């Protein structure tokens, strides 16, 4: 396995590129954990492998459901081969229940089921703390050149349907989550980045216990146990459907 050279290091991942390969790159899942635009930092041993494996299983499931992503293959125990994409500078958040920043903004308790899923866009810019942007702001100010917002919303809502199909039988409520999209060298729109408990809110359907990064953000403890539990349930859900790591 030729990693190539490190071309990017983000909060949770590193990207390696072989200059001779114009189509694909390696993505390394780190054990690091950050929150609030990396003002809060942590890590736990094995987190990179757990997240990489969970993202792998979900991308495989989505592929079977007809959702294209940048995923190519998984190389134990922390590397994912992906199509190189130009990331659209929007974080696409889908909400099924009221929680997090939306609950805070509206001065409401977390947990209310929304009448329908909500899609929100945040402008990807660490220096600005990824601010919320409206559809009109994105279009008028050309914040995401060449991006069809309706296509992004449709894709995000379709992915939401599939993710709920996955987490529900696992006894987990998919409260909300964040997606990123990119375009490959041929201009194809692909789901990118990762889908893991780092970028999702997952609550136990019965006890409402949190099984996601809020355990770290809110100092609840037991994040390693929570991620291992989601991983375990996901592995068995996928195995029953013939999808292995």
Residues contributing to the site for ligand ASP (CB under 6 A)? 11, 34-38, 213, 217
Residue 241 CB contacts under 8 Å (≥ 6 apart), including other chains? 61
Residue 20 CB contacts under 8 Å (≥ 6 apart), including other chains? none
Residues 34-93 that bind ligand TMP (CB under 6 A): 93
- The distance of closest approach from Cβ of residue 100 to ligand TMP in the complex, given in angstroms and rounded to an integer, is 2
If one counts every other C-beta atom within 10 angstroms of the C-beta of residue 182, the result is: 20
Asked whether the beta carbons of 103 and 115 are under 8 A apart, the reply is no
Q: Which does 101 bind (CB under 5 to 8 A by kind): ligand ASP, ligand TMP, none?
A: ligand TMP
Considering only 90, 163, 199, 230, the residue that binds ligand TMP (CB under 6 A) is: 199
8: phi then psi, degrees, rounded to nearest 5: -160, 140
- The distance of closest approach from Cβ of residue 125 to ligand TMP in the complex, given in angstroms and rounded to an integer, is 11
Q: What's the rounded Cα separation, in Å, for the pair 182 and 147?
A: 10
- The distance of closest approach from Cβ of residue 38 to ligand ASP in the complex, given in angstroms and rounded to an integer, is 5
Q: Which does 217 bind (CB under 5 to 8 A by kind): ligand ASP, ligand TMP, none?
A: ligand ASP
Q: Which does 38 bind (CB under 5 to 8 A by kind): ligand TMP, ligand ASP, none?
A: ligand ASP
Q: Which does 100 bind (CB under 5 to 8 A by kind): ligand ASP, ligand TMP, none?
A: ligand TMP
Residue nearest to ligand ASP according to CB distances in the complex: 34
What is the β-pairing status of strands 71-75 and 40-43? unpaired
Return the range that interacts with ligand TMP (CB under 6 A); candidates 64-72, 139-147, 165-173, 194-202. 194-202
Q: What's the rounded Cα separation, in Å, for the pair 235 and 133?
A: 36
Q: What's the rounded Cα separation, in Å, for the pair 132 and 220?
A: 27
> Which residues, listed in sequence order, are joined to residue 6 by a DSSP beta bridge?
16
Q: What's the rounded Cα separation, in Å, for the pair 17 and 7?
A: 6
Considering only 32, 84, 130, 158, the residue that binds ligand TMP (CB under 6 A) is: 130
- Kindly list the residues in this chain that would bind ligand TMP in the complex (CB under 6 A): 93, 99-102, 130, 176-178, 199-201
């Amino acid at each position: 396995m030729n990693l190539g050279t490190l071309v990017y290091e983000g909060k949770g991942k590193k990207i390696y590129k072989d200059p001779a390969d114009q189509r694909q790159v390696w993505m390394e899942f780190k054990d690091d954990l950050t929150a609030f635009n990396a003002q809060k930092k942590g890590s736990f041993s094995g987190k990179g492998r757990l997240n990489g494996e969970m993202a792998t299983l979900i991308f495989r499931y989505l592929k079977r459901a007809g959702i294209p992503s940048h995923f190519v293959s998984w190389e134990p125990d922390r590397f994912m081969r992906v199509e190189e994409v130009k990331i659209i500078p929007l974080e696409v958040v889908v909400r099924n229940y009221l929680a997090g920043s939306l609950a805070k903004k509206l001065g409401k308790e977390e947990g209310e089921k929304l009448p329908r899923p909500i899609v929100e866009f945040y402008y990807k810019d660490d220096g600005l703390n990824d601010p919320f942007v409206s559809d009109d702001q994105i279009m008028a100010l050309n914040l995401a050149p060449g991006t069809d917002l309706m296509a992004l919303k449709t894709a995000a809502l379709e992915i939401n349907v599939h993710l709920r199909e996955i987490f529900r039988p696992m006894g987990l409520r998919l409260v909300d989550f964040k997606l990123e999209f990119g375009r490959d060298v041929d201009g194809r729109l692909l789901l990118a980045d990762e889908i893991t408990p780092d970028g999702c809110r997952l609550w136990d359907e019965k006890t409402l216990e949190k099984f996601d990064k809020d355990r770290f953000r809110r100092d609840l403890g037991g994040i390693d146990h929570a991620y291992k539990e989601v991983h375990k349930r996901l592995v068995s859900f996928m195995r029953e459907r013939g999808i292995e790591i």
